[in-house]
Amino acid sequence: MSVIDLVPYEEALASYDPVMGLEVHVELGTKTKMFCGCSTALGAEPNTQVCPTCLGLPGSLPVVNATGVESAIRIGLALNCEIAEWCRFARKNYFYPDMPKNFQTSQYDEPIAFNGYLDVELEDGEVFRVEIERAHMEEDTGKSTHVGGATGRIHGAEYSLLDYNRAGIPLIEIVTKPIVGAGDRAPEVARAYVAELRELIRALGVSEARMEMGQMRCDVNLSLMPKGATKFGTRSETKNVNSLRSVERAARFEIQRHAAVLDDGGTIVQETRHFHEDNGSTTSGRIKEEAEDYRYFPEPDLVPVAPSREWVEQLRGELPELPRVRRQRLQEEWGISATEMQSALNAGAIDLILATIDAGAPADQARKWWLGELARRSNEDGVELAALPISPAQVAKVSALVAEGKLNDKLARQVIEGVLAGEGEPDEVVAKRGLAVVSDDSALGDAIDAALAAQPDVADKIRSGKFAAAGALVGAVMKATRGQADAARVKELIFEKLGVTPE
Amino acid sequence: MTDLIRSTAAQTANAIASGEVSAVEVAQAHLDRIGAVDEKVHAFLHVDTEGALEAARAVDAKRAAGEELGPLAGVPLALKDVFTTKGIPTTAGSKMLEGWRPPYDATLTRRLKEAGVVILGKTNMDEFAMGSSTENSAYGPTGNPWDLSRIPGGSGGGSAAALAAYEAPLAIGTDTGGSIRQPGAVTGTVGVKPTYGSVSRYGLIAFSSSLDQGGPCARTVLDAALLHEAIAGWDPMDSTSINAPVPAVVAAARQADVKGMRVGVVTEFGGEGYQAGVMQRFHESVELLRSLGAEIVEISCPSFTYALPAYYLIAPSECSSNLARFDAMRYGLRVGDNGERSAEEVTALTREAGFGPEVKRRIMLGTYALSSGYYDAYYGSAQKVRTLITRDFDRAFADVDVLISPTTPTTAFPIGERADDPMAMYLADLCTIPSNLAGNAAMSVPCGLAPEDNLPVGLQIIAPALADDRLYRVGAAVEAALNDKWGHPLLEEAPAL
């Protein structure tokens, strides 16, 4: 691979308009696989959730998972799609060892849902409409682990291990129409689209859509055309971009790379590319021109899917409040700005905040913890907020301890840290670490006396009515009690000892 | 019971139920017969002596305990080696699956076991059911019991030969383009392709999914009907299986009456390429039906002319995809895995070594027909022809109850004669293929010997989808009338082995 000098982002966008196409695969959270009765639970021993059908044994046959179809229709409806009255599965033929039948049962020219859109909100509250081409049903492949070799990819590996537990897990592939007109906001649109889609999938309850677990995977197709042109350029397809941040970075990198190639008078090769989390770059995968002809044809082992209009309308009527509508409602209820709401969305914090409120915490406290301390931790640890080992109920408990005066902010952070470290429930962490606020007057008395004695000049200032000076004494007491004192009570006691009464 | 191996399935079942003979005695008699003649016939790829005796003992125990026995309990059966049998070798006639023991039973296998049918073993077949002579088996050809130097038909030649050689009174075949009916015709036995979707394909190793259909093979029409009822019926494991009651085929076989039925003679079948003796016996059958009270009309089905080319696009297309799973990764043959070669190379070497020439030919044909840029011209056009053929049938069945034709244009040809001429081989299925494309029901029933070679000729009867019972009414009537005329079943004229 030759090293290329990327064109600075702003410069690239001055000369070119980006066109994107996003393909998102969502693993459905159905109990069983798409075409057989095997469990879809994650984390089982390799090759223990398999049967003749998902292993593609000779003679085996698929049967469609009705819940999978229902989920696909609900996703389609939530994406404002038309739902096919009659559609078929198709076989996508290609050889790969992790695909037991050497064809993937998918849909080709008759997707279950088509012609929709999703409105996504950017950081500043601007709404961008992303048109949806189609959403179709298919099955996942098994998982290959390539052992040996430097890259973890099949080339250069010594051997590969195959786990077919994932083979046959239902997938919905959601494909956008070409996204044009986003200009320099294209990477942001890409990110916001995937984030919004993730919220939608979760709101529908059809998948947890956890990108870090591979339950939601995104391919970013991108091309550039000279500014003002209408004919799309040649695209690259960056596969399996697996976090929101990576989606944005991949789009940004490809814009800069394409611009560099085009500026040099070169041509973009239509190819798949791999994204590298470590440095945000992409590298060439395989050239598409020599890629397989998938020889699609209607799957003869399955009868067509023909959802009745009554059923579709019933499902439409049962759709939950969609995320954007809900966010607008919450934003009003919580009295926050669009930007604040957007950052809660980006952090994946909305449901956590709501659950924390449900567990008894005031809304501002719930937001403060999830978007502050916990968001920082999730960034540091590189895990999603929801994956942190702390529950909304535990956060609500910490918040309650603060409200009761048993913890102050500093101590509360330590309690949270203890819960995250697996030290138990908030109460247990308080007890084990001895973190309770000291508000016992006699225990504080000595520390206050010492502070007054050490800083007689400050005591005089307070006596003369300069109450703000008390801060220095409070600080000294807090220091002496290693932060465990109740600062408000310390202040009261100081005034009491000095015989003054602030207004 | 005087002759355990020459009895019909119905007689054998009655004798076992009444205690006249034990199921073990019946099974042993057939195992002995297989031991005596199968070296010459080679109907079986695998004989499951222990399994058969165990199943027979279970039937005897059930009877001893006073439990009710099903209509075929204790009757031996030869199972085409294309249905999976748990723990018992299943090869589909291919080297690719040599030594494979499936971890599961096909739905059909399970139903046979539940009916108390005694599975003697697995029968020879053209590799992956691709062929009309059983010469494409990776394990050597099967001889036709009428003349061991001739083919027993295919792909289910093993099942048909087992019946004709009295190695089993019942057998199972699969019919994708005629693989039950054509072997039935050339061995003087009865073979039925039920309506597509009436016998579960779960556990049937697929050749062409939209055409494959399992069905009964027997020496009498009634026996075929009894087997039909045992294996047919809705299966939730096969989404193309029809959720409808099985037509009353046993009652129809007992009725054996064609009075007042309208029988259509397909005018497209006959003429050049048809053996004179075959046509002679066919015309006699038409007259016989007329004499039995049927009304005979001529029916033209012009699209049938295109059935063969359409079939040879659709079946290979589907097979090219169905057989992709044989890649040496999970089961079956693996060639060239020396620890150095890539998975891709091992897959290629295995497929090169494991598939026979006819299978390769069809995979290549199908891969080509499905290719981008050719799909519409080939696979797409073939699907249109399929629709036209279905319409021809619909028009015909609006006028008549059943259609008839010769089952196959010629009698059994010598082994090797057409081995190097695929087109000549494909013509054996000329009359049978339309029913597979349309998904309706068809039967072949013996109608005599061709005078020029004294080999069996089959009469094909075709009924609309889900009207399988009509086949049995007509077939049983023809069988009864001919047996009366000859004084014995046709098969008794076969030379002793």
Enter the ipTM.
Answer: 0.96
Sign of CA pseudo-dihedral B115, B116, B121, B123? negative
Non-local CB neighbours of A421 within 8 Å, separated by 6+ positions: none
Per the prediction, chain B carries an average pLDDT of 97
Written as one letter, the residue type at A46 is P
pLDDT at B73: 98
Residues of B with catalytic annotation?
A: 80, 155, 179
pLDDT at A290: 55
- Does residue A286 have a pLDDT over 80? no
Tell me, yes or no, if B103 comes closer than 8 A to chain A by beta carbon. Answer: yes
pLDDT at A289: 53
Q: What percent of chain B has pLDDT over 90?
A: 96
Total domains, chain B: 1
Half-sphere exposure of B301 (CA within 13 A, CB side): 35
Cross-chain CB nearest to B325 (options A63, A101, A297): A101
- Does residue A411 have a pLDDT over 90? no
Residue appearing with tokens 């039973």: B105
Closest CA to B405 of B449, B448, B458: B458
- Mean pLDDT within B27-49: 98
Please report residues of A whose CB lies closer than 8 A to that of B375: 295, 297
pLDDT at A3: 60
B205/A59 Cβ within 8 A:
yes
Residue B291: asked if its preceding bond is cis (omega within 30°), the reply is no
Decide if A117 contacts A92 (C-beta within 8 A): no
Q: How far apart are CA A419 and CA A430, in angstroms?
A: 10
Written as one letter, the residue type at B201 is R
- Mean pLDDT within A276-298: 83
Q: How far apart are CA A403 and CA A119, in angstroms?
A: 39
DSSP state of B296: E
| Rounded alpha-carbon distances, angstroms, from residue A379 to A190, A370, A386, B497 | 20, 12, 12, 83
- Does residue A440 have a pLDDT over 80? no
- Mean pLDDT within B199-224: 98
- Does residue B401 have a pLDDT over 80? yes
Decide if A21 contacts A179 (C-beta within 8 A): yes
Report the gap between the CA of A299 and the closest CA in chain B (Å).
Answer: 9
DSSP 3-state of B438: helix
- Mean pLDDT within B65-86: 97
Residue appearing with tokens 């500026």: A263
Question: Where in chain A do CATH 1.10.10 domains reside?
Answer: 441-498
Q: Per the domain annotation, does B344 fall within a domain?
A: no
Cross-chain CB nearest to A295 (options B325, B330, B371): B371
Cross-chain CB nearest to B104 (options A52, A91, A300): A52
Q: How far apart are CA B108 and CA B159, in angstroms?
A: 15
CATH number at residue B42: 3.90.1300.10
Q: How far apart are CA B111 and CA B105, in angstroms?
A: 9
A441-498 CATH: 1.10.10
DSSP 3-state of A34: coil
* Residue-by-residue DSSP string for B141-192: ---BTTBTTB---SSSHHHHHHHHTTS-SEEEEE-SSSTTHHHHHHHT-EEE
Q: Per the domain annotation, does B131 fall within a domain?
A: yes
Q: Per the domain annotation, does B347 fall within a domain?
A: no
B97/A61 Cβ within 8 A:
no
Q: Per the domain annotation, does B375 fall within a domain?
A: no
Question: What are the φ and ψ backbone dihedral angles of A289, each rounded to 5 degrees?
Answer: -60, -35
Could you list the residue range(s) of the whole structural domain that residue B21 is in? Answer: 9-303+387-493
Q: Where are the beta strands (DSSP E) in A107-155?
A: 113-121, 127-139, 143-147
B329/A97 Cβ within 8 A:
yes
Please report residues of B whose CB lies closer than 8 A to that of A91: 321
Decide if A470 contacts A478 (C-beta within 8 A): no
Rounded-to-5 percentages of helix, strand, coil across chain A: 40, 20, 40
B320/A301 Cβ within 8 A:
no
Q: Per the domain annotation, does B258 fall within a domain?
A: yes
Cross-chain CB nearest to B201 (options A55, A61, A91): A61
Paired tokens of B471? 């086949």
- Does residue B359 have a pLDDT over 50? yes
Q: How far apart are CA B14 and CA B4, in angstroms?
A: 12
| CA triple B223-B189-B231, angle to 5 deg | 40
pLDDT at A291: 58
Paired tokens of B370? 């499905």
How many other C-beta atoms lie within 10 A of the C-beta of residue A7? 22
**Worst-scoring range by mean pLDDT, A447-461, B45-59, B115-129, B303-317?**
A447-461
Closest CA to B174 of B321, B315, B7: B315
Give counts: helices (H), strands (E), chain B. Answer: 16, 11
- Greater confidence (A346 vs A12) lies with A12
Measured CB to CB, residues of chain A less than 8 Å from chain B are: 52, 55-64, 91, 93, 95, 97, 100-103, 160, 162, 293, 295-297, 300-303
pLDDT digits (tens, 9 = 90+) for A212-269: 889 999 999 999 999 989 999 999 999 989 999 999 999 999 999 999 999 999 999 9
Paired tokens of B37? 């003649």
A58/B102 Cβ within 8 A:
yes
How big is the A-B interface in CB pairs under 8 Å? 99
How many other C-beta atoms lie within 10 A of the C-beta of residue B407? 33
- Does residue A154 have a pLDDT over 80? no
pTM of the predicted model as reported, rounded to 2 decimal places? 0.88
Decide if A12 contacts A203 (C-beta within 8 A): no
- Does residue A1 have a pLDDT over 50? no
Q: How far apart are CA B78 and CA B162, in angstroms?
A: 7
For residue B277, what pLDDT band results from cuts at 50, 70 and 90? very high
Q: Per the domain annotation, does B142 fall within a domain?
A: yes
* Residue-by-residue DSSP string for B190-258: EEEEPPTTSB--TTBPPS-TTT--EEEEESSHHHHHHHHHHHBS--TT-TTS--SPPP-HHHHHHH---
Helix or strand holding residue B272 (H, E): none
Half-sphere exposure of A159 (CA within 13 A, CB side): 7
Q: How far apart are CA B241 and CA B200, in angstroms?
A: 6
A301/B324 Cβ within 8 A:
no
- Mean pLDDT within A299-328: 95
pLDDT digits (tens, 9 = 90+) for B443-482: 999 999 999 999 999 999 999 999 999 999 999 999 999 9
Rounded-to-5 percentages of helix, strand, coil across chain B: 45, 15, 40
Per the prediction, chain A carries an average pLDDT of 91
Q: Per the domain annotation, does B374 fall within a domain?
A: no
Half-sphere exposure of B122 (CA within 13 A, CB side): 21
**Worst-scoring range by mean pLDDT, A217-221, A492-496, B376-380?**
A492-496
